[in-house]
Copies of this chain bind each other. A is one copy, B any other.
Amino acid sequence: MQHILSSDQFTREQLLEIFNAAKKLQDSKEIPQTMKGKILATVFLEPSTRTRLSFETSMLKLGGQVISIPNSESSSLNKGESLEDTGRMIDSYADIIAMRVPKKGQVNIFSTHISTPVINAGDGTGDHPTQNLLDLYTIWKEHGKLDGLTIGLMGDCCNSRVLRGMAKMLAEFDCKLIFIAPPEVQMRIDVKSYLKSKGKDYKIVESLDEVITDLDALEVNRIRHEYFEDKERAKEIGKQFIISKQMLEKGKEKLILLDPLPRINTYLEEVDEMPQAKYFEAVTNSLFVRMALINSLLG
The stretch from A88-96, A172-180, A237-245 touching chain B is: A88-96
Question: How far does the Cβ of A102 sit from chain B's closest Cβ, in whole Å?
Answer: 14
In-complex Cβ contact of A50 among B31, B41, B76 (8 A)? B76
Instruction: Report B-chain residues with C-beta under 8 Å of the C-beta of A39.
Output: 57, 60-61
Q: How distant is the Cα of A91 from the Cα of B49 in the complex, in angstroms?
A: 13
A264 within 8 A of B: yes
**Interface SS of chain A: helix, strand, loop or mixed?**
helix
Chain multiplicity (copies): 3
Mark interface residues in A257-280 (1 if CB within 8 Å of B CB, else 0): 000011110000000000000001
In-complex Cβ contact of A283 among B65, B79, B88, B94 (8 A)? B88
A92 and B261 contacting across the interface, CB-CB below 8 Å: no
B69 and A71 contacting across the interface, CB-CB below 8 Å: no
Segment 71-89 of A: residues with Cβ below 8 Å from B: 71, 73-76, 78-81, 85-86, 88-89
Segment 154-169 of A: residues with Cβ below 8 Å from B: none
Instruction: Report B-chain residues with C-beta under 8 Å of the C-beta of A5.
Output: none
Which residue of chain B has the shortest Cβ distance to A282 in the bound complex? B92
Q: Beyond A53-B93, A80-B264, A261-B85, is A47–B67 a contact (Cβ under 8 Å)?
A: no
Instruction: Report B-chain residues with C-beta under 8 Å of the C-beta of A261.
Output: 76, 81, 85, 89
In-complex Cβ contact of A93 among B73, B280, B287 (8 A)? B287
B49 and A92 contacting across the interface, CB-CB below 8 Å: no
Instruction: Report B-chain residues with C-beta under 8 Å of the C-beta of A75.
Output: 47, 49
A262 and B85 contacting across the interface, CB-CB below 8 Å: yes
In-complex Cβ contact of A80 among B41, B71, B262, B284 (8 A)? B262
Instruction: Report B-chain residues with C-beta under 8 Å of the C-beta of A74.
Output: 44, 47, 49, 70-71
Mark interface residues in A231-252 (1 if CB within 8 Å of B CB, else 0): 0000000000000000000000
Which residue of chain B has the shortest Cβ distance to A86 in the bound complex? B49
A60 and B67 contacting across the interface, CB-CB below 8 Å: yes
In-complex Cβ contact of A53 among B53, B54, B67, B284 (8 A)? B67
Q: How distant is the Cα of A143 from the Cα of B200 in the complex, in angstroms?
A: 61
Instruction: Report B-chain residues with C-beta under 8 Å of the C-beta of A79.
Output: 262, 264
Q: How distant is the Cα of A20 from the Cα of B24 in the complex, in angstroms?
A: 42
Instruction: Report B-chain residues with C-beta under 8 Å of the C-beta of A219.
Output: none
Question: How far does the Cβ of A121 sit from chain B's closest Cβ, in whole Å?
Answer: 14
